[in-house]
Amino acid sequence: MTEKISIRKWIHRWLTGWFIISTGWLNAQGQPVQFEFQHIQEKDGLSFNLINSFLQDRDGYLWVGTFDGLNRYDGNQFIKFKHNPSDPNSLLHNTVHDLCEDRQGNIWMVVDNGVGCYEKATGRFRNYTAANGRAIGFCTNILCDRNGDIWFTSRRVGLHRFSTKTGKIQYFPYNPTHNPLTASSFISKNCFPEDPTQKGFWVADGTGLQYFDVEQQRFFNHRNNPQHLPIFNDHSISALALDGDKLIFADNDAQKITVYNLTNQQILKIITPVSRQTNREVFAMATIFVDRQHNLWTSSWNYVMFHIAASTYQITELVHDETSPTSIAGSFFWAGGQHPDKSVWLGTVNGISHTNPERAFYNVFNLGAMFPALNDKRGIVSLLEDTDGSWWLGISIRDILHYNPQTKRLAIYKLPHTTAQYPYGSPVSGICSIGETLFVNTETDVFVFNKTTK
């Protein structure tokens, strides 16, 4: 934060770690974005904590697909839908991978063994497990296109289109040369956006990024690239997302996230996120969600999650911490969504986590994360806000910190005269300021510190 911070916005997290640097200025890498998550889980009525997908329909309901049931949430309570073997008009399968809404307001879903449609008028499900004598199989992605038709991907087979006019399903082979029963590659989850600039869809798998032209009914990829587009290669590609006319995807072989302008057919940005907290590999990527403020939220198969800020592309790692109830609920998320109030909802492996930094009651300044050299587990004992908006912090090992939230710089000043009883000095229990003089109180001494001469 760069504005003057009032002391009424309390420091929420205490500094941890031993101080291994003496007096001097340290430069932070920039104040990370701060997130305080709230959670909705099974104890709140959700059918299952492992979330696959979100959809907010035209009536304002939030639909949540999980590994054990479909849920409709009105902000207060859940209505659960489960498969009933004795009822052919119930949910086809309890594992719901993706959701979309058609022009009539019906809710479509893809599951482990096909496609289903919940008709709001009747409260019943229509289910499809085969098309033209061929089993549809395991489905991972679904959407309603600009013409009102329903498209979905079968994991090892290809694309299907359900015509809302004829009620028939048309099949488009993903790769006519391969056998879907033995193929090693498949269309990935979170990998099926509709191109906003032309009639077609982007899909991805372990063999590269592909574009399906609806009018030509053919795929373009690194093997068929007449326009020599720079994004076609034979790398493992996953986690496609759209931000206006920008296609964003993860290249797992190159270990980078690419931002590509579909209108100009140019690569705009290459992002290389690195985990500094978990020391884990970041790729392969499983999810990229883009919010309305153009921020990226990502999750990898290696259980590393990031928030990547719009414009600046500053990266903040999201870490699940069992000791912190306001951290994200799980170490992996499949789905992202955004409420009209700008709060972001993430569907994790341990329920729904939602956060809205713009409406946070207070800000968190985690100095230990900003300045890794600070690692004092004894913590902050006293605090004083100076007239210029900077902070003087007294800690329990006889040191004074001076932090300026505007410049994001930290200075450390060590008090003299350690004793055998207090080898690191007694705690700084109080600080006050008169003009350029700082009065520092410990258990047995009062020190006078000149803020100008240091």
User: 334 vs 359, which has greater pLDDT?
Assistant: 334
pLDDT digits (tens, 9 = 90+) for 344-355: 999 999 999 999
Residues 153-159: what's their mean pLDDT?
81
Residues 14-28: what's their mean pLDDT?
39
Alpha-carbon span 330 to 349, nearest angstrom: 6
User: 153 vs 206, which has greater pLDDT?
Assistant: 153
Contacts of residue 8, Cβ cutoff 8 Å, sequence gap at least 6: none
Average pLDDT score over the chain: 86
Confidence of residue 187 (pLDDT cuts 50, 70, 90): confident
How many CB atoms lie under 10 A from the CB of residue 250? 31
pLDDT for res 397: 74
Per DSSP, 427 falls in state -
Edge-to-edge strand order for the sheet containing 285-290?
285-290, 296-300, 305-308, 315-318
pLDDT for res 176: 59
Domain boundaries, the chain: 17-32+365-450, 38-359
> What's the whole-model pTM score?
0.78
Alpha-carbon span 43 to 300, nearest angstrom: 27
* pLDDT value at 12 more than 50: no
* pLDDT value at 1 more than 50: no
pLDDT for res 58: 95
pLDDT for res 19: 33
| Percent of the chain surpassing pLDDT 90 | 63
pLDDT for res 74: 95
DSSP string, 355-410: E-GGG-SS----HHHH-TTEE-TT-EEEEEE-TTS-EEEEETTSEEEEEETTTTEE
pLDDT for res 362: 65
Residues 396-419: what's their mean pLDDT?
81
Alpha-carbon span 415 to 451, nearest angstrom: 14
User: 400 vs 83, which has greater pLDDT?
Assistant: 83
CA distances from residue 54 to 41, 98, 109, 251 in whole angstroms, order as listed: 14, 8, 11, 25
pLDDT for res 200: 96
pLDDT digits (tens, 9 = 90+) for 54-74: 999 999 999 999 999 999 999
* pLDDT value at 331 more than 50: yes
Alpha helices (runs of H) in 232-381, residue ranges in sequence order: 367-370
| Percent of the chain surpassing pLDDT 70 | 85
Confidence of residue 27 (pLDDT cuts 50, 70, 90): very low
* pLDDT value at 171 more than 70: yes
* pLDDT value at 29 more than 90: no
* pLDDT value at 31 more than 90: no
* pLDDT value at 182 more than 60: no
* pLDDT value at 120 more than 60: yes
Confidence of residue 107 (pLDDT cuts 50, 70, 90): very high
User: 428 vs 152, which has greater pLDDT?
Assistant: 152
pLDDT for res 418: 62
CATH architecture of the domain covering 38-359: 7 Propeller (2.130)
Window from 125-134, 221-230, 403-412, 424-433 with minimum mean pLDDT: 424-433
Window from 4-18, 73-87, 249-263 with minimum mean pLDDT: 4-18
Residues 322-340: what's their mean pLDDT?
94
Most confident of 177-191, 392-406, 434-448: 434-448
pLDDT digits (tens, 9 = 90+) for 300-309: 999 999 999 9
pLDDT for res 444: 80
